[in-house]
Structure 1
Amino acid sequence: MNEEAYKQLNEMIRTSHHIVFFGGAGVSTESGIPDFRSKDGLYNQHDVAFDAYSPEYLLSHDCLVHHPDVFYEFYRQKLDARGIKPNRAHYKLAEMEQKGKLDGVITQNIDGLHQLAGSKNVLEVHGSTLRNYCDACGTSYPADFIFNTKKGLPTCPKCGGLVRPDVVLYGEALPSQTWSDAIDLIHQADCLIVGGTSLTVYPAANLVDYFRGRYLILVNKGETGYERRASLVFHDSIGEVFSHIEV
């Protein structure tokens, strides 16, 4: 990408007053967390124990209910983000917020890396692996609770109910308040930066349609369906692009 494009990027950021970032799996891949749909992604990692099921089923409400032993084994093996560190993009977004140049982050990721990097206003539309709760009594438990339950099902010490991750599974609705807050944030934005997402996962991808501001900036290695609407497009790693942002 030429220097002129980075100059345009910084000029758009400089002249904007309400910037919002909306990100997907590609934001975390540089931290070592696989995305879901690339050729090396989570959905294309083969494990004999899980080959009988589709990846979507393994992370579905139906699997949790009907095959909980399979669900929790897959979850513990594939979605443990403890010990993973934020990358350049996470830290740059936190810096932008701290300097008053970013209103907030809307993320499809469930790894908590934005908060670990220092971002405060983070809307997690798909939930987080760092939170768990009892499906029966609602008691909250930390991330370690499920991951440290090596065998069998994680049950609530208080009532014996099943402790599940606070993650939106296939077949479940997005958290209504978080979704509403995300729409409001995008409505108020004059600059929306979309990064690390192909914008093919719905309903989250619909959030871009609520943007009515001046600048739409897309950062993704592959093409998206919104490029004709964009003010600026980068087909590069988000860490590389964000390393050129000056705030």
Structure 2
Amino acid sequence: MSYEEVKRIVSASRNIVFFGGAGTSTESGIPDFRSEAGLYQTKTKQTYPPEVMLSRSFFTEHTEQFYEFYRSKMIYKDAKPNAAHVALAQLERDGRLKAVITQNIDGLHQLAGSGSVLELHGSVHRNRCMSCAKFFALEHIVASEDAIPVCDECGGTVKPEVVLYEEMLDEAVLEQAIAAISEADVLIVGGTSLTVNPAAGLVGLYRGDNLILINKSSTPYDSQARFVIRDSIGKVLNSLC
């Protein structure tokens, strides 16, 4: 399809919000969750499904197994921003994009230069001791020789600041995301199946008539979108700059 009308709408707006999921980072070599090549379809030596291993109760009861899976399947420290991340950062510099709301935990939006990023599910780059709350960067998790990373001050277990299953979203981040989507002129949704709540439900708070969906598979919001685009998210967003 021609992106001329989409580009015209994006160019005319000064209040764009982007809402993205795992598909935003697949072009950086990070697998998504539910596609045929996604994490939930990947066979591992673990006896538990990924959804279980990424739960708070599993972290609590099987911390060593959690970290074995987490380190091998959730951390991609060498991944680089792709064309989608770069385009969004450019839209922000141009004064058109007000916020990036992401379900991803990889930090690639910030690495590409985006400043206004709301991470609904946290980040692998932030980790804290559960006993004394000391902060640790990703390198501490990666470089630790212990099966379970521990605090170098008090010896407590270090937990990633990512939102696991059974945990609540950060209330402050959620409120900012609600406000941004509710006030947006244009909402671009990309790389997400929009099936995981409460994050997916945020799209329903959009009040405008310029909902743009970029996703390779159908979503529950396709019928409400002004444009539904089945193409590379990097290619599409780059064409809108």
Q: TM-score, normalised by structure 1?
A: 0.95
How far apart, CA to CA, are the structure 2 residues paired with 1:113 and 1:152?
26
How far apart, CA to CA, are the structure 2 residues paired with 1:176 and 1:65?
22
Of 12, 20, 28, 2:9 maps to: 12
How far apart, CA to CA, are the structure 2 residues paired with 1:150 and 1:85?
25
Aligned partner of residue 240 in structure 2, secondary structure:
coil
- What is aligned with 2:28? 31
- What is aligned with 1:85? 80
Q: Deviations over 1:118-172 (max 9, x none)?
A: 0000000000001100111111000011111244211112211110101000010
How far apart, CA to CA, are the structure 1 residues paired with 2:215 and 2:83?
15
Aligned partner of residue 222 in structure 2, secondary structure:
coil
Specify the code of the residue in structure 2 equivalent to 1:89: A
Identity of aligned residues (%): 51
Shift of 1:89: 0.3
Please say if 1:110 is aligned against 2:105: yes
- What is aligned with 1:182? 177
Q: Deviations over 1:151-202 (max 9, x none)?
A: 4211112211110101000010000100000001111101100000010011
Specify the code of the residue in structure 1 equivalent to 2:231: D
Please say if 1:148 is aligned against 2:143: yes
Q: Deviations over 1:49-94 (max 9, x none)?
A: x1x1011111110111000010010011111221110000000000
Of 165, 176, 179, 1:170 maps to: 165
Specify the code of the residue in structure 1 equivalent to 2:44: D
- What is aligned with 1:132? 127
Q: CA RMSD in A?
A: 0.9
Report how many residues are paired.
241
Aligned partner of residue 100 in structure 2, secondary structure:
strand
Please say if 1:43 is aligned against 2:40: yes
- What is aligned with 1:213? 208
- What is aligned with 1:98? 93
Q: How does 1:189-200 map to 2 (within 5 A)?
A: 189-200=184-195
Of 211, 234, 238, 2:233 maps to: 238
How far apart, CA to CA, are the structure 1 residues paired with 2:100 and 2:175?
14
Aligned partner of residue 21 in structure 1, secondary structure:
strand
How far apart, CA to CA, are the structure 2 residues paired with 1:214 and 1:46?
42
Runs of 4+ in 1 over 6 A off after TM superposition: none
Shift of 1:32: 0.1
Please say if 1:53 is aligned against 2:48: yes
How far apart, CA to CA, are the structure 2 residues paired with 1:65 and 1:184?
34
Q: TM-score, normalised by structure 2?
A: 0.98
Of 107, 118, 122, 1:123 maps to: 118
Identify unmatched segments of 5+ residues in structure 2: none
How far apart, CA to CA, are the structure 2 residues paired with 1:188 and 1:163?
37
How far apart, CA to CA, are the structure 1 residues paired with 2:221 and 2:91?
24
